[in-house]
Structure 1
Amino acid sequence: MGLKGWRVFAAATIFGILFLNGICFSEKAPNYSFLHEATSAPDVSFYDYIIVGGGTTGCPLAATLSQNYTVLLLERGCSPYGNPNITFLSTFGAALSDQSPSSPSQRFISEDGVISSRARVLGGGSCLNAGFYTRASTSYVTDMGWDGKLVNESYQWVEKKVAFEPPVRQWQSAVRDGLVEAGIRPYNGFTYDHLNGTKIGGTIFDQDGVRHTAADLLEYANPNGLTVLLHASVHKILFRTKGRSKPLAHGVIFRDASGIKHKAYLKRGAKNEVIVSAGALGSPQLLMLSGIGPENHLKEHKISVVYHQPFVGQGMSDNPMNAIYVPSPSPVELSLIQVVGITHFGSYIEAASGENFAGGSTSRDFGLFSPKIGQLSTLPPKQRTPEALSKAIDDMSKLDETAFRGGFILEKIMGPLSSGNLTLIKKNPNVNPSVTFNYFQEPEDLQRCVDGIKVIENIIESKPFSKFRYNDLPLPALLNLTASSPVNLLPKHRNASTSLEQFCKDTVMTIWHYHGGCQVNRVVDHDYKVLGLDNLRVIDGSTFNYSPGTNPQATVMMLGRYMGVRILNERLASELPN
C-alpha cells in the first residue's frame, strides 16, 4: 500500500490494532464460595467492614481484612470469570466496545469531549486495561508518606498472583532500541521499578495471553470472613449524627439486580468502618449522594447535607494520551504495552502493535485506538459525536486488511498538572456524573506532549525501527495521516508541518488513568479517613493528586493490600491487653 492508500486509511479513521482470534483456552474460575449475587442477600446484615467497590483496590483490601474480621464487599458489576472478552489478550477491546447494560465497562464522555470508560466488574479496571504493570517511583512513595518496606512487601504480595514478564518480540524490540538510540537512557532491562530511561515493564497477561486481575487477589481471602455480592449498587452511606460532634458512618443502602433494597450495617464496635473504593468517578459521586460534598451543589439536587466538604469532586485529572499510527511494510506481532521510555522532561513513551495474515480473519473492530471503544482522534474532542464514531466504524469495515498492519507509538504526560472537577447529574448512582479534566490547560502539560511527540519522531526515524516504516512517510506525513478528517482524503496540512501543539490538542485521547476527587489533605487524611467524619475511609485512585508511575494499576492494587495490613496492624495492636 502506497502513500495514497495510507491517506485513505487515515481518512477512514481506523484507530484499531489487529488482534488474532487466538487459541480458545479453557479458563478455570476460582472456587469462590463467598461470591454471590446480591439478590441472595438478606434484607439486613451486619459486618465489621463494609467495602463499596470490588475493583483494583477493593479486592486486595477485602482479602486482607477478611483474615481477622467479617467483610462485606459490594460490587455493582458482574464477575470477570467465564467472559472471554475479559480473559484473553487476543480479544482486548471487546469488553470496552460492548455498550450493553450488562457490559463490564460503562462509557462516559467528559465535558472536554474525550470518550472514556469506567469499570463495572469484579476486579475493576484490571479487567479492561492493556495490562501494563509497573510500580510507582520511590519519590512518589516518599511524597505519599508511605512506609517503603510495607509498600515493597505489598507489591510483592500482588505480583505473586497477577504480574508476569512479557515476551518481547520484533516490533516491541524495535521500539525499545529506537528509544535508546533516541537518547532515553539508560536501558534498564525488564523491571517492575520506575526508573528513568527505557525498560520492559510487567504485564498481567501470562505466557498464554490470559489476563489475571485484581479479582484473583481474592484467592488470598479467608472464605469464612468474606462475603462478595455482585450487581450490588450502593445508593447511600448511612450516618448517625444525633448527639455527635462528627457524623459517624454505620452502614449502607444498596439495591440488587431486581431493584430490591438491602441494608448492611456495621457491627457495634468503635473500630468498624465503611470503606469506599468505588474509583475516581464512583467514590466522590457516592460521597455526594450520601450528603458529603459542597453544600450548595448538594442542595441543588435536594440531597440532605450531612457534612459540607467543598473539595469532594475537585482535583479531577486524566493523563492525556496522544498517539501516532505507523503503518508497517512488514508483519508485526500482537502486543499491548510492554516497553516504556521514562523521559527526564515528564513524558512517557509506550507502544502497541497488531498483526494480520493475508486471507485470515481479523479483529479489526478492537484495539487500543479503535473508534469502537471511543478512541477517535481524527476529529477534535468536541466533534466526536455518535455519528462520527459510527462513520469511522463503517469506514473501517471497508478497508483492506493490510491497512491494519502496523502499530501505534504513544506518549502520555506525567502528572498531569491540569485538573478539573466532578459534579452530579442525577441522584441515581448508576448514572455517570459530569466530569471535566481540562486537558492541556496548564502550558507545561502541552509542552510535555510536544516533547514526547519529538521523541516518537526520533524512534520512527531510528535505525532499529527501519524495518517497520515506509521511507516515504516522514513524521509530518504521519501526523497528517493520524489527524486527517474523515471527510478529507488528503492531509490537512499539505504544504506545512502540522503544529505539534495543535496536534496534541486535536488528537488527545484517554489512557484511562483518571484520578482525583477525594484527594489526600483535602478530603481524606494520610490514613485515608474522611476528614470531619468517623468510621469512613476512601481508599482508591480518587485520593491521588497525580497518577503514580507510568501506569497506576500496580500501585492501586498495592494500596489495597498496604492499607489492609495497616488497618489490621493498628487494630490488633489496640486490642492487645496492656
Structure 2
Amino acid sequence: MRDASIAKNVHYDYVIVGAGSSGCALAERLSRDGTVRVALLEAGKSDKSFLIGMPSGVRLLYEGAGFNWKFQTTPQLELGSRQIYIPRGKVIGGSSSINSMIAIKGAHVDFEDWAKAASSIWGAENMFRVLRDIENASGLPTKHRGDRGLEGPIRLSRRLIGHELSEAYITSCEQAGLARNCDGFNGKSQLGAGFFDVNIADGQRHGASMFLREAAHRQNLVVVPNQIVRRIYLEQGTARGVVVQQGSDETLLRADNEVILCAGAIGSPQLLMLSGIGPSQHLYDTGVKVVVDAPEVGQNLRDHLDCSMRWSTKGVDTFTKYFRPYEGLVHSALSGARYLATGTGNAATQGIEAGAFWTDGQSGNAEFQSHLVLALKWPPHGKHPRNGFALRVCQLKPKSVGEIRLASSDPRDAPLIDPGFLTDPRDIDALADGVAFSTEIIQNGEMQRYLDQALDHEATSSNKRIVHNWIRKTAETVYHPVGTCRMGDDTNSVVDSSLRVRGVENLRVADAAIMPTIPRGNTNLICMAIGVIAAEIILSR
C-alpha cells in the first residue's frame, strides 16, 4: 500500500470513493487479490495525528474542522427550527477516526429485516460471521470472550476505567429492573446495563485505518488523501471512472472494472446526484443533467435523535475538570504528558464506558439506548459545577424519515441535510418515555447518593408537555445517519442486494447509505462489515 497523488492516464481495476469505515475494509479485502489494482480516494487528510490515536482526542476532533466536515442540518421545524450539528470524519478512517469508539455489532432482528428486504447475504448469520472476523476481542475478560473473534484488525477492550459512577449507574439500572449485561452488548441479547465494548487497545484508537495497516505491504493498493471527487464518469450508462479536482483542473481516474462509492450516507447520495443519478426534477432544478431518474436517491434518511440529561455531583471526581476555563488546560496538559510517557491515564479513555439497552415493554427487542458521559462539557448557561455527568438517551427505531438534497451542482457545497427529526409524532412520545425511565434510574437508585442537583429540571418533570418542550429545545443527533441509497429487492431501491446501482453498470454503493433500516445501536462496526461483504460479493463474481 502506498500514499500517492493522482497521475494522468493511470487505470485501476477498482476505484473506491471514501476511505471511511466501509471503504477501508473494502479496499483491504479487494487488494488481497494481487492481480487487481485498487485506488482508495479520500477527500480528507491522512490520519497520522496524535489527536486521532489518543482516545481523549475525541473532545477536540468533535468540534475541530481539521478532520471534520462539520455539517449542519436544515432548520428542523419540530426542534424549534434549530439547525443540528452533524460531525462527519473528513480523514482517512472517516468517522471511525473521530467518533467515541463504542463498538456495537447490532441486533439479530435488524439483520433479519435486511435479509427480508434484500437477500440472506445480509441476514444475521452472515453479518455476525463477518463481524466476528473483523474483531480482535483478546483484550476482553477471558470469561466474557465466548465465541468472539480474536484475530481481526479491530482490537476491543472494556471497562478501561471502572469509574465508580459507571458502576453505580449499572447498579441503578439493575435496581430499576434491567439485567446486568456482561457481554458488552454484543452477545445473545443487547438488553440490560453494563460496560460497552470499545475499539481501544493499548491506549490507542482502533478505527477503520487498521484495515489499511493490514495491507501496508501491498503495492496494488494506492491510498490518495486530499482528493475531491466531482462526479462519476459515465459512458453510455456505464461507470468508467471518476473525475477528480486537482487545483483548477479536472483529472479522469479510470476504473476498468468498477467504481464503488463509500462516501457515507451523506456523501454517496450527493455524488450520485452530482453525476446525474437521482430524482429527475430535483436534478433539473439544480442544473444537473439527468442520466438516470432514480427517485429514492437521497431519500429514506434515518438517524438516532438523542437527549442529554445533566446532573452535578458530590463526593466523586469526574472528567468535568478538563472542560473548565483555564483549569482545564492544566489538567489536560498533565494528562497529555502522562499519556505521551506511558500511554495510560485519562487521556487513554474517551469518558464513556457504561450504558444500557432496554425495551419499550411492547417488544422483546431493544428500543432505547443510553450512554453515561463522565463529564459535563456543556453545563447550562451561567452554571459551572465542579463535577457532574450527562446521561444521553436515544430512541433506536425512530419513525421519522428525512432526505439529502443538493444545494447546488458544485461538489464543494455541502448538501442539504434534512433528517426530519420528530416529524412523526410517535417519536417525541417515545423519547419522552425514554427520558422518564432514565430519570427514574438516576434519581431513585444507587446513583442518588452521588447527586448534587439536576441541571435540566424540565427533563425531570412529571408533566409530559414540559418534557416535550425540553426535548424540542435540546435534542441532537447521535451521528448515525443511514439509508439514503436504500438496498432492496424491489425496483424502487437505489441498489440491489449485491449493492449495484440500478440503471448503471459497474457502479456500487457500499456504506451506511445502503442500510434499509437503521440498526439498534452504534453503526461503526456494521459499516466495516458492509465493506467486507461488498468485497466478498465483488470477488465472487
Same fold (TM over 0.5): yes
How far off its partner does 1:35 sit? 1.8
Q: CA–CA distance in 2 between the matches of 1:540 and 1:497? A: 38
Aligned to 2:79: none
How far off its partner does 1:148 sit? 4.1
Q: Which amino acid aligns with 1:201?
A: F
Q: Please, which of 435, 445, 456 is the counterpart of residue 463 of structure 1? A: 445
Q: CA–CA distance in 1 between the matches of 2:92 and 2:129? A: 24
Q: Please, which of 85, 93, 103 is the counterpart of residue 59 of structure 2? A: 93
Give the alignment's Cα RMSD to 1 decimal: 2.3
Secondary structure of the residue that 1:551 maps to in structure 2? coil
Deviation per residue, 1:504-548 (Å, 9 max, x gap): 222111111112211113211111111122111111111123322
- 2:520 counterpart of 1:553: no
- 2:165 counterpart of 1:171: yes
Gaps of 5+ in 2: 77-82, 116-121, 137-152, 320-349, 361-366
Q: Which amino acid aligns with 2:59?
A: G
- 2:21 counterpart of 1:56: yes
**Closer, same or farther in 2 for the Cα pair 1:220/1:235, shift >3 Å?**
same
How far off its partner does 1:283 sit? 0.5
Q: Please, which of 30, 47, 64 is the counterpart of residue 65 of structure 1? A: 30
Aligned to 2:324: none
Q: CA–CA distance in 2 between the matches of 1:424 and 1:205? A: 36
- The answer to whether the 8 Å contact 1:96/1:105 transfers is no
Q: Please, which of 536, 560, 566 is the counterpart of residue 507 of structure 2? A: 536
**Closer, same or farther in 2 for the Cα pair 1:111/1:316, shift >3 Å?**
farther
Equivalent residues in 2 for 1:326-337, closer than 5 Å: 326-334=311-319, 336-337=351-352
Q: CA–CA distance in 1 between the matches of 2:123 and 2:538? A: 13
Aligned to 2:325: none
How far off its partner does 1:408 sit? 0.6
Aligned to 2:290: 305
How far off its partner does 1:554 sit? 1.0
Aligned length: 467
**Closer, same or farther in 2 for the Cα pair 1:163/1:500, shift >3 Å?**
farther
Q: CA–CA distance in 2 between the matches of 1:184 and 1:110? A: 38
Q: Please, which of 200, 207, 231 is the counterpart of residue 205 of structure 1? A: 200
Q: Which amino acid aligns with 1:344?
A: T
Secondary structure of the residue that 1:228 maps to in structure 2? strand
Q: CA–CA distance in 2 between the matches of 1:135 and 1:70? A: 31
Secondary structure of the residue that 1:280 maps to in structure 2? helix
Deviation per residue, 1:20-59 (Å, 9 max, x gap): xxxxxxxxxxxxx4123xxx32122211111110001100
Deviation per residue, 1:375-423 (Å, 9 max, x gap): xxx7xxxxxxxxxxxxx6xx6xxx75xx251111111111221011111
Aligned to 1:116: 86
Equivalent residues in 2 for 1:212-231, closer than 5 Å: 212-221=206-215, 223-231=218-226
How far off its partner does 1:434 sit? 0.6
How far off its partner does 1:149 sit? 4.3
Q: Please, which of 360, 384, 390 is the counterpart of residue 408 of structure 1? A: 390
Sequence identity, in percent? 24
The TM-score normalised by the length of structure 1 is: 0.76
- The answer to whether the 8 Å contact 2:459/2:470 transfers is no
Q: CA–CA distance in 2 between the matches of 1:496 and 1:442? A: 21
Equivalent residues in 2 for 1:350-499, closer than 5 Å: 350-354=371-375, 367=377, 403-470=385-452, 473=453, 477-480=454-457, 499=466
**Closer, same or farther in 2 for the Cα pair 1:130/1:179, shift >3 Å?**
same
Q: CA–CA distance in 1 between the matches of 2:513 and 2:244? A: 21
Q: CA–CA distance in 2 between the matches of 1:479 and 1:562? A: 44
- 2:222 counterpart of 1:255: no
Aligned to 2:534: 563
Q: Which amino acid aligns with 2:473?
A: D
Q: CA–CA distance in 1 between the matches of 2:234 and 2:495? A: 17
- The answer to whether the 8 Å contact 1:49/1:266 transfers is yes
- The answer to whether the 8 Å contact 2:40/2:222 transfers is yes
Q: CA–CA distance in 1 between the matches of 2:92 and 2:259? A: 19
How far off its partner does 1:497 sit? 8.1
- The answer to whether the 8 Å contact 1:410/1:456 transfers is no
Q: CA–CA distance in 1 between the matches of 2:202 and 2:430? A: 34
Deviation per residue, 1:107-149 (Å, 9 max, x gap): 3233322122222111011111111101011111222122544
Q: CA–CA distance in 2 between the matches of 1:497 and 1:419? A: 24
Q: Which amino acid aligns with 2:255?
A: L
- The answer to whether the 8 Å contact 1:170/1:333 transfers is no
- 2:125 counterpart of 1:154: no
How far off its partner does 1:442 sit? 1.6
Q: CA–CA distance in 2 between the matches of 1:266 and 1:189? A: 43
Q: CA–CA distance in 1 between the matches of 2:393 and 2:197? A: 18
Aligned to 2:323: none
- 2:2 counterpart of 1:34: yes
Q: Please, which of 253, 268, 276 is the counterpart of residue 264 of structure 1? A: 253
Aligned to 1:487: none
**Closer, same or farther in 2 for the Cα pair 1:404/1:54, shift >3 Å?**
farther
- The answer to whether the 8 Å contact 2:56/2:351 transfers is no
Aligned to 2:478: 511
Q: Which amino acid aligns with 1:180?
A: E
Q: CA–CA distance in 2 between the matches of 1:353 and 1:87? A: 20
Gaps of 5+ in 1: 1-32, 242-246, 355-363, 371-377, 379-391, 484-492, 572-578
How far off its partner does 1:192 sit? 2.4
Q: Which amino acid aligns with 1:179?
A: C
Q: CA–CA distance in 1 between the matches of 2:483 and 2:429? A: 23
How far off its partner does 1:447 sit? 2.0
